[in-house]
Amino acid sequence: MTGATRTRKTSGMSASTAAARPARGRASAHQVRVVLTALSARLHAPGDTRARDMGWTVTVLPGPLGLTGRCYRDPRFSARPGR
C-alpha cells in the first residue's frame, strides 16, 4: 500500500458544524440565562416585597445559570452595641 491513496467514506452526520457557528451556543446560553433570571425574579418577588415592606434590605446574589439567590437583612441586627 505504499503510494496508494485511500478515500474514506463519511456520512453527512460526521461533519462538524460547531466550528462553523461558535456564537450560536453562546447566544443560546445567554437566552437561557435571561429566562432563568426572569424566572428567579418572579419567584422571589413576593418575598422581596414583604421584606422591603418590613424595612429589610434585599441583596440579590449570583447563582448558576442565571438563577439568583436572595439575602434578606433586618436592619435591627446591623447595629451591634459595644462595637
Q: pTM above the 0.85 mark?
A: no
Please report which confidence band the pLDDT of residue 82 belongs to, taking 50, 70 and 90 as the band edges: low
Residue 50 to residue 47: CA distance in whole angstroms: 5
Q: Give the domain ranges of the chain.
A: 25-75
Cα dihedral 18, 20, 25, 31 in deg (nearest 10): -150
pLDDT of residue 27: 76
pLDDT of residue 13: 61
Q: What are 10-62's pLDDT values in tens digits?
A: 666 655 555 555 566 677 888 988 999 999 999 999 999 999 999 999 999 99
Nearest to 40 by CA among 6, 63, 15: 63
pLDDT of residue 78: 75
In this structure, are residues 21 and 50 in contact, taking their beta carbons and an 8 Å threshold?
no
pLDDT of residue 15: 57
Residue 81 has pLDDT above 90, yes or no: no
Please report which confidence band the pLDDT of residue 67 belongs to, taking 50, 70 and 90 as the band edges: confident
Beta bridge partners of 72: 58
Q: Decide the pairing of beta strands 69-73 and 57-61.
A: antiparallel
